[in-house]
Structure 1
């Protein structure tokens, strides 16, 4: 399974990529929402996008809105992974089509738990 990690912080992309690879994902990275849309075109087998809210060029929220407009991307699971923890933003992201919302800082276990709830990885023993 392939995941697209979208964050303007290279360090954060590496952290999330490491967690995802640890549970069997192949990963692709993007530094902003616009680049992420290009990556989705290049890698149509993406099953999961982990998205930061605050990025230059195109925010994570704008990415979610744009991705949900495209029929071919409607099956991709979208998970916000961001510092934005205000209730209104969480509601907006979920209403726009995000499946899950993780607030930074997080532990690897939180990401894996969310992936289990989404059915993207098997439950841990």
Structure 2
């Protein structure tokens, strides 16, 4: 059975909605790695290179199930993005996962206290992505 025109080609079985993850990282290499890991777990991924672009996309794309963002980015950090998402009545239910190459307990605790769903240390591994499965909201 073919899916109706305009249906999600990557969605799998008819009627099955694919989980959409917004990946935010200013590093093209890290962005490609996280996108590949998420896609290999059958997620639909939109990758952007800044928190400002992420906020713009969230304003036009209501069907994001999770945001995974780098902590350290120019202009707006992942922590600032987390705060903006959690302060928004329309976005606050979207789980936000922060990634960083720095294992800084103060930074990790600050993100978790602000409402981050999880904090992943880079390099992100397939086991990290598997752990996120149960945290997604559809």
TM-score normalised to structure 2 length:
0.81
* SS of residue paired to 1:17: helix
Counterpart of 1:104 in structure 2 is 122
Tell me if the contact between 1:5 and 1:28 (Cα under 8 Å) persists in the aligned partners. yes
Higher helix share: 1
Misfit runs of 4+, over 4 Å: none
Deviation at 1:119, TM superposition (A): 5.0
What is the aligned counterpart of 1:76 among 91, 94, 113?
94
User: Is it true that 1:116 corresponds to 2:133 in the alignment?
Assistant: yes
Q: Root-mean-square deviation (CA), in Å?
A: 1.6
CA contact (8 A) 1:49 1:79 kept: yes
Query: What residue is the counterpart of 1:123 in the other structure?
Result: none
- The runs of 5 or more residues in structure 1 that have no matched partner are 121-125
Is contact 2:97-2:119 (8 Å) kept?
yes
Aligned residues: 120
The superposition leaves residues 55-84 of structure 1 with CA deviations (integer Å, 9 ceiling, x where unpaired) of: 011000000001111111111111111113
For the pair shown, the structure with the greater C-alpha radius of gyration is 2
Q: CA contact under 8 A between 2:86 and 2:93: conserved in structure 1? A: no
Matches within 5 A, 1:1-125: 1-113=19-131, 115-118=132-135
Instruction: Measure how far apart 1:105 and its partner are.
Output: 2.0
2:21 alignment partner, SS class: strand
